[in-house]
Amino acid sequence: MTETIFTDVSRGDYVFRDVFGISQVYYLKYSNFETSAIIDNIFNMYSQLIESANGKYKKSGGEKGILEISALAQGNNDFEEKFSNLMNNYFKSYFSSTNAVLPLYDGYKYTPSTSDAAKKYSNEISDIKVLMDEALARSAQAFKIPPALIKGDVAGLKDAYDIMLTNCIDPLADMISEELTSKQFTADQICKGSRIVADTSCIKHIDIFDISANVDKLISCGFANIDEVRDKAGMPVINEKWSQEHYITKNYERIDNSEKH
């Protein structure tokens, strides 16, 4: 069987000249190969919408008005010069300043079309925020990450972490574990139990008081010893003989034993 060959392998800007066989590399490929294209399409679409909303936001807060020019002013010899200076300098400075006074020549009258032209309406700001949140949410969903974690929501945080671990982190950890195991051990070693496992059980913060009942149950039924439970809870192991032994309470016994009494 022909081995898969890798060429032009790069790290940063450096490209390796060597040719690598599949047995010489760790080859990890995300199963959702269309994720990059999905993300690009999402941001291309939403960038256009956000740009449109941003334009609407700027327009809603822009200064608008009516400039009246009398026939007398238009008949002056220097009308073109004064008009150009007024539009390109005076009005430009007036509109861009927070506080300003607009000097006008005789025969010119400027009337703002709104009394609150500088106000930025909340609905335009809300439109931009909603679009940005939607873009982030769709991108998160492409990677199977709950949008609540991206947006920093507090409600339902525990469920969101569980969903992310189940649908996003654990599949990646399993993929890494399988690839490392296949390259580090022979088939016979794997059949005998040798393997590399990416442990994701300690990703979430654990409050020992919240899990005290579960800790008691794990130890009392013999499922785990004290050191194993402490390690999973993020605490240092005791590393004594008694902490590495398994215990079982007397209320756990075989059914046939109970029938003899």
pLDDT in tens, 117-143: 445 556 666 777 787 788 888 888 888
The DSSP code for 4 is P
Q: Rounded distance, CA 10 to CA 16, Å?
A: 6
Q: Rounded distance, CA 124 to CA 61, Å?
A: 10
By the 8 A CB rule, do 3 and 22 touch?
Answer: yes
Q: How confident is the model at residue 51 (pLDDT cuts 50, 70, 90)?
A: confident
Mean pLDDT of 196-215: 88
Asked whether residue 55 carries a pLDDT value surpassing 80, the answer given is: no
Q: How confident is the model at residue 257 (pLDDT cuts 50, 70, 90)?
A: low
Q: How confident is the model at residue 224 (pLDDT cuts 50, 70, 90)?
A: very high
